[in-house]
Amino acid sequence: MSVATGIERKVSTGGNIPTGHKTRARIGRTAKYALLLLFIVIVLMPVYVLVVTSFKPPSDVSAVTSWSLPSLWPWQADADGVTGFDNWGTAWEALAAPLGRTFLLAIPAALISATLGSMNGFVLSRWKFPYANLVFTLILFGMFIPYQAIMVPLVQMKTSLGLPSTIATLLMVHIIYGLPICTLIFRNYYEGVPEELMEASRMDGAGMLASYWRIILPLSLPGFVVTIIWQFTSAWNDYLFALFLSDANQGPVSLSLVNLSQGAQLSNYGASMAGALIASLPTLVVYIVLGKYFIGGLMSGSVKS
C-alpha cells in the first residue's frame, strides 16, 4: 500500500481512534473511578459514625443504631433533657485546657526539632568530617527504636532527674525523638542542592554558618514544611509518651480524651465522639492547608540518599 493511499484512508476515517478502543478506555476509566469511590466510602465510614454519633444523646446511642441518623434533631432534647449539642459542650469543657497545652507542646516541638534537624542535615551533607557516615548511621538508629523499648528506662531517667510530669518534659522528649527523622529528611534534601552554590559562597568569603544562613536556609522551605507537619502530627497524636511522662491534669489532649470516654458517664459515647472530632481538627486543618506542600517537599528529598 502506498503512502498516498494510507493518507487517503486516514483522512477518510477522520483519524479517529477505533470504536473498540474508545469503549475499552471508557470502561477502564469508569472502573477506576468506581474503585476510587469505593475506597473513599470505606475511608469515610468511620468519620460518618463519629459525626452522627456526636449529635446523639446517650439514650439514642447503641450498637444497633450507630449507623442510623439521630432520632432527634441535635437541638431537641430526649426524655432526660439532653440534646445532641450538649455532647459538644461536654467535650469542649473537658478538652479546652488540654487543647491549649497540646498546642504549647506540638508547635515548639515541630519548630525546634525541624531547626535542629536542618542544621544536622546541612553539616552531614556538606561537611565530610571523619566518620561522618558513622555519625549519620547512629543518628538514624534512633528512628528504628520503638517507643515501647525505651519507655521503662525513660521513666527511670525522668524520675532520677526529678523532671516534672508536665508539657515541658514531653516537649524535650519529642524534640530528641524527632531529630533522627528530621535529620534524614534535611540531609537528603541538601544533597540535591548544587555544589556550585556552595563554591560560589566560599569564593565570596562566606564560612559554613554564613553559607547555611544565606544560601541553604532560603532554599529549605520544602524540607521545613515536611518536618514541621510530621513532627506536629506526631506530638499532637502521641499517647504513649503522654501516658508515662505526664498526668491527666497537666498532660496533652490525648490523655484527656481517654479520660472523657472512661469517665463517670461511660454510656455517653456522643461526647466521646465529639471530643475525638475536636481533638483531630487541628491536624486536619494542617494537612488541608499544607498538604500539597507536604507531598512536594517529601518528594524533593527522595532523589538522593
Alpha-carbon torsion (50, 55, 58, 64), positive or negative: negative
pLDDT at site 3: 47
Q: Copy the grid coordinates of residue 17.
A: 481512534
Tell me the per-residue pLDDT of 7-30, one tens digit each, with 9 for 90 and over.
445 444 445 556 767 788 888 888
> Given this model, what pLDDT does residue 231 score?
93
Residue 38 — φ and ψ, nearest 5°? -65, -45
Cα atoms in the 13 Å half-sphere on the side-chain side of 132: 12
Residue ranges of the chain whose pLDDT lies below 50 = 1-4, 6-8, 10-14, 265, 302-305
Q: What is the pLDDT of residue 179?
A: 92
What is the CATH class of 84-300? mainly alpha
251: left (phi over 0), alpha (psi -120 to 50) or beta: beta
Cell of 186: 534535611
pLDDT score at 262: 65
Tens digits of residue pLDDT in 112-170: 999 999 999 988 888 877 888 888 888 888 888 888 888 889 999 999 999 998 999 99
Give the global pTM.
Answer: 0.80
What pLDDT does 216 receive?
Answer: 84
* Predicted local distance difference test score (pLDDT) of residue 92: 92
Residue 72 class from Cβ within 10 Å (0-12 exposed, 13-18 middle, 19+ buried)? middle
CA dist 142 → 75, 119, 150, 236 (Å): 51, 17, 11, 20
